[in-house]
Amino acid sequence: MVGFFRSGNLASRVFDRQFLSPRPGATVNTVRQFYENLVPSYTIYDINCPDYSFRKFTDDGKYLVAFSRNHQDLIVYRPIWLTFSCHEECDSHDLPANAERFDSFFKQLYSISLASSNEYICSLVEVRRIGAFCREDDELFLYSHGQAEQGSSFLPGIKQRLLSFIFRKTWNEEPDQALRVQHLKKKFYFHFQDYVDLIIWKVQFLDRHHLFIKFGSVDGGVTRSTDQNLAFFAVYNMETTEIVSLYQNSSEELYSLFEHYYDHFHANPQNSLHEKFISSHSNSVHALDQLRTIKNKASSSSQFVKKMMASLPYTCQSQSPSPYFDLSIFRYDEKLISAIDRHRHCTEHPIKFISVRQPNVVKFKIKPGSDSGASDSRAKRISSFLFHPYFPLALSIQQTYMQPTVVNIHFRR
């Protein structure tokens, strides 16, 4: 029975960890569950720090990377811990004056100027161009056969691959030879011009050989509500120059793949121990249950699928491996904060991190901005969060138009 009970007392958890052995292969999970008791408990608001753009903690947690506002300098810090001593119990005393300073938590290691003398930092070499031609010798082949004349109406190579795949897929859908022509007229030729007018909206690498391409109409690419427009997702093999599969943005089959193989759509580096524990609905039953709950509440399943598919293909984003984003340990509002590193609209109220094991217990709160709240509620404010991979340490950064940036430090006192 002792193995199923997890105390809410930190000292008791440390004592249990000394005497209780986890199941084979579950050591890391046991360590991460320890963060239920080891949470940020104190916030220093509007800390005195340099006017830099703080980007992220490195995967090993040893460094904090920042850039100058003009992006001409790279600054690297090493996280340290605020230390002070008292004659009596420290919890009853206020923090010392130097706690308000950024250098009490981070030590600057170096600052490097980037391209200070207009030198090249790097150069990009075009290896392959996919569009009008799919192979390197396609253009040479057309010229050698006298087909590449001025004013020719040849479709681009990628569009020919797309039309060919749709034709063959439609052809195989109807086994009856007598009805196959009518089926082609209804499903393919009737929409032929719509297929021809499709353009590439977005592309993502799935691996070194496959591209995940989103096709859509010209009008749909410039509207804000892209989930309302018809779009197609294609998996393209660059080596064979073939379309491997094709789905509409309302396809339940594509959504099922997205639900069960999310990590393949949003590839994360696996060279770090901490990066392997980024929660998603393909590796966490808690995240999957949360996603399915949202889907069940949706008024229309088709519209929900379109809304979820609107974010595909994903842009390159970094994700925090912090245990405080582990959905098997904590629950939080993903509209306000998540492991994905991006700017979000700031909220007036603190963001709550609730225990999964005890649904009515708020373990800690994160509040960006000043302690007194916003002086002008009409001003547009955005916030971002940087969580350390394993320390109970986080930065919240609030930016307001025409106002100085507010940086808060959240840590365990």
Q: Which residues of 97-113 are buried (b: 16+ CB within 10 A; e: fewer)?
A: eebeebebbbeeeeeee
Q: In this structure, are residues 39 and 351 in contact, taking their beta carbons and an 8 Å threshold?
A: no
Q: What is the pTM (predicted TM-score) of this model?
A: 0.79
Handedness of CA 7, 9, 12, 14 (dihedral sign): positive
DSSP SS3 for 329: coil
DSSP SS3 for 255: helix
Question: Per-residue pLDDT for 4 more than 50?
Answer: no
Q: Distance (Å, rounded) from C-alpha 279 to C-alpha 26?
A: 16
Per-domain boundaries in the chain: 39-116+321-411, 138-146+153-246, 257-309
Let me know if 61 is exposed, middle or buried by CB neighbors in 10 A (0-12, 13-18, 19+).
middle
pLDDT band at 83 (very low <50, low <70, confident <90, very high): low
Question: In this structure, are strands 381-387 and 344-345 parallel, antiparallel, or unpaired?
Answer: antiparallel
Q: What is the pLDDT of residue 229?
A: 76
Q: What is the pLDDT of residue 143?
A: 74
Q: What is the pLDDT of residue 270?
A: 55
Q: What is the pLDDT of residue 89?
A: 64
Q: Which of 204, 235, 231 is nearest to 218 (CA)?
A: 231
DSSP-derived secondary structure for 127-183: ----SS-SSTTHHHHHHHTT---TT--PPPHHHHHHHHHHHHHHHHH---HHHHHHH
Low-confidence winner among 137-151, 178-192, 252-266, 397-411 (lowest mean pLDDT)? 137-151
Q: E strands of 344-389, at which residues?
A: 344-345, 351-355, 362-366, 381-387
DSSP SS3 for 186: helix
Q: Which two tokens stand for residue 174?
A: 């109807």
Q: Which of 386, 404, 399, 400 is nearest to 106 (CA)?
A: 386
Question: In this structure, are strands 242-248 and 231-237 parallel, antiparallel, or unpaired?
Answer: antiparallel
Bridge partners of 382, per DSSP, are: 345, 399
Q: What is the pLDDT of residue 65?
A: 94
For 228-287, the pLDDT digits (tens) are 678 899 999 998 989 999 999 888 999 999 888 888 887 655 555 666 677 777 777 888
- Segment 295-306 shows an average pLDDT of 85
Q: Which of 319, 320, 359 is nearest to 36 (CA)?
A: 359
DSSP SS3 for 27: helix
Pick the more confident residue, 117 or 123: 123
Q: What is the pLDDT of residue 111?
A: 92
- Segment 75-83 shows an average pLDDT of 85
Work out the percent of the chain whose per-residue pLDDT is above 90.
Answer: 16
Please work out, in degrees rounded to the nearest 5, the angle formed at the alpha carbon of residue 39 by the alpha carbons of 285 and 100: 140
Q: What is the pLDDT of residue 3?
A: 44
Q: Which residues of 221-253 are buried (b: 16+ CB within 10 A; e: fewer)?
A: eeeeebbebebbbbebeeeebebeebbebbbee
For 42-73, the pLDDT digits (tens) are 888 988 888 899 999 988 889 999 999 888 88
Mean pLDDT of the chain: 81
Q: Distance (Å, rounded) from C-alpha 174 to C-alpha 184?
A: 9
Q: What is the pLDDT of residue 1?
A: 34
